[in-house]
Amino acid sequence: MSQHVTPRVRPELYVEVQQFYASQMPLLEARRLEEFLLTFTPDCTLEHIPYGWRFEGREQLLKEMSARRGDPDKPRAEETSARRAREENIAYYDGLVYRYWFDRMLIVPAADDTLKVRYQAMVSMTDAQGKVSFEPTTVVEDVLERRDGELMTRSRVVTHDSANWADKIHNPG
C-alpha cells in the first residue's frame, strides 16, 4: 500500500495564509470591492466551474462583482438564480448578509514567491428575519503570489459540488 505524503509547511506560513484569507474575505462580505480586489494581482483570474464564468483582471472582476453583490440595506432581492441574474444583469445579494467559511486548507509552495492553496468553502446567506440559506459547497484552488512582501491572489478556481449550481435559486422564500 502506498502512502500519500502531503508536504508540510512551516506553522508561520500556514498562519500567514490563514491571516491573509481572514483579512481578504471580510472585504468581500462587506462589499468593499475595490479594497477586496487590491488583494488580487492586477492580472488575476477568477473562474467558476462547471458551467461557469472566467474573469480576467481587476477591472473585469470589479464590473462583474459590482453587478452581483447587491446592497445589504435594500429589501431582499426577488428569487433568482445566478445564471438568470447574469442574463438579466441584476444583483442577487440585496438585503442579505453573507459569509464565507473555509476548511481543510492545504498549502503547497510552488516557487520562491508562489503558493498553491486548496480548500473547501461554503457561503451562508442570512436575511433580515434571520433565515439562513447556503450556496452549494465548493472546492477552491488559489495561486497566491508574494509581491513586495505581501500575499496576493493571482488566480482562483472555484469548483461547485453541484453541476447545476448556477441554476440554484438564491433567496428562496
For the chain, the structural domain boundaries read 11-168
Q: Is the model more confident about 164 or about 9?
A: 9
Question: Please, are residues 158 and 49 in contact by the beta-carbon 8 Å criterion?
Answer: yes
CATH architecture group of domain 11-168? Roll (3.10)
Query: What value does the mean pLDDT of the chain take?
Result: 87
pLDDT recorded at residue 91: 75
Q: Which residue, among 125, 68, 66, has the nearest Cα to 101 in the 3D structure? A: 125
Which residues contact residue 72 at a Cβ distance below 8 angstroms, ignoring those fewer than 6 apart?
A: 31, 93, 94, 95, 96, 97
Highest mean pLDDT among 30-44, 58-72, 153-167: 30-44
What percentage of the chain has pLDDT greater than the value 90? 54
Amino acid at position 27, single letter: L
Whole-prediction pTM:
0.87
Range 158-171 average pLDDT: 77
pLDDT recorded at residue 82: 72
What is the C-alpha R_g of the chain?
A: 17
Range 74-103 average pLDDT: 78
Q: What are the pLDDT digits (tens) for 125-145? A: 887 788 888 888 999 999 999
The string of DSSP letters for 118-168 reads EEEEEEEEE-TT--EEEPPPEEEEEEEEEETTEEEEEEEEEEESSTTGGGS
DSSP symbol at 89:
T
Q: Per-residue pLDDT for 75 more than 90? A: no
Range 50-59 average pLDDT: 88
Q: Is the model more confident about 8 or about 52?
A: 8
Residue 129 CB burial class (10 angstroms; 0-12, 13-18, ≥19): exposed
Cα 173 vs. chain centroid, distance in angstroms? 25
